[in-house]
Structure 1
Amino acid sequence: MKTRLAQLFCLCLLALPCLAQEVIRVGVELQPYQPYSDVENGEYRGYARDLLDAFAAEHGYRFVYVPLPVRRLLGDFLGGRVDLKFPDHPQWNADQKAGHAIHYSRPAAPYVDGILVKPQQLGQGVARIRLLGTQNGFTPWPYLTEIHAGRIKLIQANQIESLLLMAINDRVDAVYLNPRVVAHQLRLMDLAEQALVLDPQLPHVEDHYYLSSIRYPQVIEAFNRFLEERSEQVEAIRLRHGL
């Protein structure tokens, strides 16, 4: 029995370097979403890049980042054309994921999604919102009942900048986005960060993004250990990106 266990242990040790030398394709979102991530001149960057690079360096993994539109990213992930997916969440596209054995990491990045309005519109409730803007690929979970009932019409766009201008110019009544992402984009547009603010009285989502994989559950397990054992390093990366 001891001999058998020793053989298995040796096989595991031999397998680890092989995986480390293999190129692992990380599917990521093409759309700009700083401080979490964006793609500039084909280069993936932001909090997610720094976090995943730090993890890969510690374990000797060779990550290649594959930026894709949100809808295509899911299809390529489920079809095995990318090996890891970030960001991901167990609740996202649950119907399309049915039948796939997807392994999710521990929480890797905190986020808040909610309604942002002009400061003078704070506290006016959801009844005033008839046109709600959001980014393609986003699902405004707390407002699906109103959307399906026709009380709110959803307007989607690829660019956050377009959505923010629509809200500032009253072409939509509000936007459903991440307030940190909105503040970052407003700075890039040379606009005041308080031009649009989160209405905390309206329903919003506080959750986390996850790393996921179908092919490499062992990488997800290693990432979980990294998040736990290198928590100070992870926290420093978050603080550097304002998260």
Structure 2
Amino acid sequence: MSRLVMSLYTSFIFVLMLLIPASAVAKSTYSVGIEAYETVQYQPVRGDKYQPLIEELLEAFALEEGIKINYQALPAEQYQDWFEQHSIDFRFPDNPKWTNWSHTLFYSQAVISFCDVTRVLPENNWMRKPDISRLGTLPNHPLSNDWIRQVKKGYSTVHEYQTAAQLVHALISGDVDAILAEHSQVDDGVAQLALGSDVLAPSQFIPDIKDDLRISSELYPAMLEKFDQYIKTHQAFITQIARRHGIDNGRACTQTGAHNQSELAE
């Protein structure tokens, strides 16, 4: 090979390297931002029950891929700015419906499912969403589009409570008309207050909704695709971890159809 040809070949390879997107550059260690109330970093991450589940799952995946995972506990109130303010490669939990991020984000398939429920007092099970002027939630619980529209129009106000017990107590005390939370969080609040299982009721017109938690990334869609394949082929393993942490993986969520109602559509 002549010196000229070698020089042209080298230049061509260099140009190709410049064109390779950042997402294709392999790394040996990846950083995952995890929602936590504390602002310090933990290893391993501690917090609500979904965190040890994702940690076990990611560690098993990392072992198979030959990579390392670092966890960065980040404040929930800065959630929408995590990618902008912190050097993280992935974010958990996430869902395409939650974010206001203006850049392109890539999402994994569902890692874990949960049941989003609205609960009222039994005597108020006639309530539709437009009848609920005061809605109780836990911090950073995502609102569906119809709830957001009601709040923007001034029909409903959202009241946040720090714990599941405080949330349930607010409904029992009449401070809110309804509460919105993950199914097991409501059950935990009822149990912590030593209340009977019939103290709360679903609305006849607001169905429980099965939703999911995912991992997102700005730069590593290829790694998310590998993780998706891992999820697909390790369902039994995920079920085992979920049961160990008391997560029903959305099984308790009954997809009941709403009765005749006039509600804001998604």
TM-score normalised by the shorter chain: which range applies?
A: 0.7 to 0.9
Cα distance, 1:86 vs structure 2: 0.8
Matched with 2:87 is: 81
Q: Kindly provide the amino acid, as one letter, of the partner of residue 64 in structure 2.
A: E
Does the C-alpha gap of structure 1 residues 76 and 139 become closer, same or farther in structure 2, counting only changes over 3 Å?
closer
Task: Call closer, same or farther: CA 1:52–1:201 in 2, change over 3 Å.
Answer: farther
How far 1:200 moved relative to its partner? 5.6
Answering whether residue 149 of structure 2 is matched by residue 157 of structure 1, we say: no
CA contact (8 A) 1:134 1:177 kept: yes
| 8 Å Cα contact 1:179/1:198 also seen in 2 | no
Q: Which runs of 4+ in 1 moved over 4 A?
A: none
How many residues matched? 218
Kept after mapping to 1: 8 A contact 2:136/2:180 = yes
8 Å contact from structure 1 (residues 135, 157) kept in 2: yes
RMSD (Å) for aligned C-alpha atoms: 3.2
Question: Over residues 69-109 of structure 1, what are the superposed CA-to-partner deviations in whole Å (9 max), with x where a residue is unaligned?
Answer: 22313312234522211111112223xx12x2321111112
2:120 aligned with 1:114 = no
**Farther-moved stretch of structure 1 (100-109 vs 178-187):** 178-187
1:126 to 125, 129, 153: 129
Superposition deviation, residue 128 in structure 1: 4.1
Q: Offset at 1:204?
A: 5.0
Cα pair distance change 1:56/1:186, threshold 3 Å: farther
Partner of 2:186: 182
Q: 1:58 aligns with which of 33, 56, 64?
A: 64
Residue by residue over 1:196-240, the C-alpha shift from the partner in whole angstroms, topping out at 9 and shown as x without a partner, is 344362155432221111133232122111011212212322343
Give structure 1 stretches of 5+ with no counterpart.
1-15, 33-38
SS at the partner of 1:19? coil
**Equivalent residue letter for 2:138:** Q
Instruction: Note the C-alpha offset of 1:150.
Output: 1.9
| Larger strand fraction of residues | 1
1:167 to partner: Cα distance = 1.1
Amino acid at match of 1:134: T
Aligned equivalent of 1:213, options 210, 214, 217? 217
Distance 1:234 1:47 in 2: 8
Q: Does 1:137 align with 2:140?
A: yes
- Long gaps (5+) in structure 2: 1-23, 250-266
Overall identity of the aligned pairs, in %: 23
Q: Does the CA contact (< 8 Å) of 1:28 and 1:73 recur in 2?
A: no
- Cross-structure match for 2:96: 90
Which has the higher Rg, Structure 1 or Structure 2?
2
SS at match of 2:174: coil
